[in-house]
Structure 1
């Protein structure tokens, strides 16, 4: 009897309060789907805005420091924007100089790649001979994966190699283990191993050109990004007061201040750690004599913002270059340096400095990387953790969805307290 009365009172309260909680949750889920679809469709507009907000969050501490030194808000923002533009120009200069040097030294790297390929295929030939001497058949397996080592002619010059290979193709007998194409009854042999085409300097230059074109397309929005950044920095100091005037209390200002404090804390710590990572790795590869050392340090700095996968992606190009430049010894040293730096900084220093401020589980970090990368591409991957932090903080200040923030937390701690202004009964 008492149980039925409690149930009837609960139904009555939900009816008096308006929409039932289940319907509100369903409506919220549908709204999220529509919102995500809209964000993905409007990526060409939102991505520059996100970049501007990211730069603004990094620049706000400098604006505050300059204002404490007595500069007016406008002059402090102007000086900060000058520093931002100088840093951006320096980064573009390092990248462009590295790619220009790669294009100028293309012939040298092509020769090194040919020597590397010839050495690998000679080693494959010796391995095949040793295995066959011991009664192990390797014809099909090695032929499908590495091609026939007898087809390799490392002595050909860059100018003569394509001509001689093209002239030899129609008369070449079908060798064992090579791919063929039957046209007009003639077999055309492909002598190159498929995996060795990864070391094609022409393909690398083409990929670099495509990357530069993508960067150029991004820089077409540079003026828009700079304008948005300037206005955000000008409005940042007065926005909390506008919130207080708009809502009549300091609750909105408190929530906004908490979001901005967490973001600034995360970005400042992450930027300092990324700079340390980039400098250490840049100095390491420079000591080893690897070409384009400033570029690899810059790449390690930028990709360190991407959790989990960024450090792995940053290590691939310098390791491949070391493999071509001086062989496996240098490649192992470069890989060992990246491994040690990322393990020490990523597993010990960064968690100690971040502490519980980040407050996201490893699974949530990885899923946010995949999700925001799908929505906004590389920029979404770069900003995946800050964006997820904003979502988590907003959920912590929601009465109905506070439990989601608890599930996203990376540490076992007490449930976040209800936002100020809500009673314990309402929670």
Structure 2
């Protein structure tokens, strides 16, 4: 089809329609796209270390293993710190809930002393400690989803790193 024959308005509308289709496709493929983009990001961060090791005449396989080992240890350490923090927070939630109720009662009393009348029930409905637990649950669920995708991300990073050293040669060969 000859797009130059289309009116400028129609070309703009066609461009917008294409953009909407691409964005909708990306939204539909989020569960697949996000792990691969995360893999590409991690591999991009690791590539300089890999190239540095290869410039020191470390074999590619050993260089990739060393870089991936550093990444796995870093992610593992970070995961342990986050898990410990979540565990400590979960243990202290009852204390936080009691403290939150004390503070809301103190604020309500202070406001009542200054002529602002609020019912305790209304304040308790607005400041719900259960919302905090819901937020923590969502964070833990999101962290669990990342760990579920970890194996796919790990394999993709490995593949990208193994291909990183030979990519320039393959690219030159493909472009003639």
- With the shorter chain as reference, the TM-score category is 0.7 to 0.9
For 1:275-299, what per-residue CA distance to the aligned partner results, in whole angstroms no more than 9, with x for missing partners? Answer: xxxxxxxxxxxxxxxxxxxxxxxxx
1:224 corresponds in structure 2 to 152
Q: Give 2:137's aligned residue.
A: 209
> Equivalents in 1 of 2:6, 2:17: separation in Å?
11
Q: 1:233 to 1:111 in 2, by over 3 A?
A: same
Secondary structure of residue in 1 paired with 2:51 = helix
- Whether contact under 8 Å (2:61, 2:162) holds in the other structure is yes
- SS at the partner of 2:101? helix
Residue 63 of structure 1: how far off its partner (Å): 0.9
Counterpart selection for 1:235 from 150, 158, 163: 163
Unaligned runs of 5+ in 2: none
1:48 aligns with 2:35: yes
Deviation at 1:53, TM superposition (A): 0.4
RMSD of aligned residue pairs (Cα, Å): 2.4
2:77 pairs, out of 79, 83, 90, with 90
More helix by share: 2
Is the 8 Å Cα contact of residues 117 and 196 (structure 1) preserved in structure 2?
A: no
Closer/same/farther in 2, CA of residues 89 and 22 from structure 1, 3 Å limit: farther
Cα separation, 2, equivalents of 1:237 and 1:206: 46
User: Which protein has greater RCO, CA pairs closer than 8 Å, 6+ apart?
Assistant: 2
**Counterparts of residues 366-385 of structure 1 (less than 5 Å):** none
Larger C-alpha radius of gyration, 1 or 2? 1
Question: What is aligned with 2:67?
Answer: 80
Query: Partners in 2 of 1:224 and 1:41 — Cα distance?
Result: 19
Equivalence for 1:423: none
Tell me, yes or no, if structure 1 residue 64 matches structure 2 residue 47: no
Q: How many residue pairs end up in the alignment?
A: 172
1:210 to partner: Cα distance: 2.3
SS at match of 1:71: coil
- The normalised TM-score by structure 2 is 0.85
In 2, the alpha carbon distance for the partners of 1:30 and 1:194 equals 48
Q: Aligned partners of 1:22, 1:79: CA distance in 2, in Å?
A: 57
Deviation at 1:60, TM superposition (A): 0.8
- 1:100-151 deviation digits (Å, cap 9, x = unpaired): 11121223222321221122112101111xxxxxxxxxxxxx44xxx23xx5
Matches for 1:87-236 after TM superposition, within 5 Å: 87-128=74-115, 142-143=116-117, 147-148=118-119, 151=120, 191-193=121-123, 196-198=126-128, 200=129, 202-236=130-164
1:19 maps onto 2:2 in alignment: yes
Q: Runs of 5+ in structure 1 lacking a partner?
A: 1-17, 129-141, 152-190, 249-427
